[in-house]
Amino acid sequence: MREYVLMTDSCCDLPDQMAKDLQLEVLPLTMHMDGQDYPNTLDGAAISNEEFYRRIRAGKMATTSAVNVGQFEDAMSAILEQGKDILCISFSSALSTTYQSACIAAETVLAKHPEGRIRVIDSLSASLGQGLLMYLTAHKKLEENLTLDQLGDWVEENKLHVCHWFTVDDLNYLKKGGRVSAATALVGTMLSIKPIMHTSDEGKLTVVGKARGRKSSLNTLIDTVGRLGINLQDQVMFICQADCQAEAETVAAQLKQRYGVKEVYINYIGPVIGSHTGPNTMGLFFVGTER
């Protein structure tokens, strides 16, 4: 059996050192601001998360672009030339063309390296939901010595059990991205309505409820863990936060106190996803009976 590499993209929003420890090959998407391109690397080399949110809060606007075919071709070719295969798990195809780029690149690279294997999987996930899937997948690989196809099959069978539940603070960012209507954003802002959203089985961001005020929205997320989560005391959970670390730490403490959750990792929502959700967005990611 040939050795293989786990590949993903920077919308997994994992801490850089964790991604290294998990032996992940991570390709960056790109954030564009003030006429400059910033590769969204996990180490924040081009722009730190803190600086990105400082600019966003000051009114700067940002756009984003997917990992392109050329980036994937270069990375995939380098790995196959080392005699290794690739299991690539990408950002949701409903939110980005990154998955399509990976598929196109894999076909081109395999035509030049027919001895190799590349399997590309649509995670149907985003941010630390994608990150949690990669965390679980990498541990499965390291602990059980599965073949590429065995692990790929496990991902396909389990990815829709990774729950993504989050709330945003400012509906205008979702309005700009076409996720909510202008009227909804206006009324919600006036009434301090905070949408409760999740990532659906189709990998789309979907509004599934609303709460009056920030505290109520965060409590709703915590309640959802109890409603959908399985084996909570044995779980590692992730929280993503858009420049609201103190609130995230409070939520993590409540998860441990209320459900006995073993470990909760907190990390920033990176510049690519943060461009579309805005500051103070927070999400919880855990394994459940369904999304």
Per-residue pLDDT of the chain (291 residues; tens, 9 = 90+): 799 999 999 999 999 999 999 999 999 999 999 999 999 999 999 999 999 999 999 999 999 999 999 999 999 999 999 999 999 999 999 999 999 999 999 999 999 999 999 999 999 999 999 999 999 999 999 999 999 999 999 999 999 999 999 998 876 766 666 555 665 555 555 556 788 989 999 999 888 888 988 999 999 999 999 999 999 999 999 999 999 999 999 999 999 999 999 999 999 999 999 999 999 999 999 999 999
Specify the pLDDT at position 206.
83
The pLDDT assigned to 185 comes to 54
- pLDDT at residue 174, as a whole number: 66
Measured between alpha carbons, how far is 204 from 259 in angstroms, rounded to an integer?
28
Cβ distance 231 to 286 under 8 Å?
A: no
Q: What is the pLDDT of residue 286?
A: 98
20-57 tens-digit pLDDT = 999 999 999 999 999 999 999 999 999 999 999 999 99
Strands 282-287 and 162-167: antiparallel
* pLDDT in the model for residue 9: 98
Name which of 246, 247, 287 is nearest 263 in CA terms.
287
CA gap 31, 62 in Å, rounded? 7
Query: b/e map of 194-227 (b: 16 or more CB within 10 Å)?
Result: bbbbbbbeebbbbeeebbeebeebbebbeebbee
Closest CA to 227 of 150, 184, 165, 169: 165
Q: What is residue 122's predicted lDDT score, i.e. its pLDDT?
A: 98
d(CA 249, CA 153): 35
Q: Does an H or E element contain 251, and which?
A: helix 245-259
CA 81 to chain centre: 29
What's the pLDDT at 194?
85
Query: Which stretch of DSSP H or E encloses residue 189?
Result: helix 182-190
Tens-place pLDDT, residues 243-271: 999 999 999 999 999 999 999 999 999 99
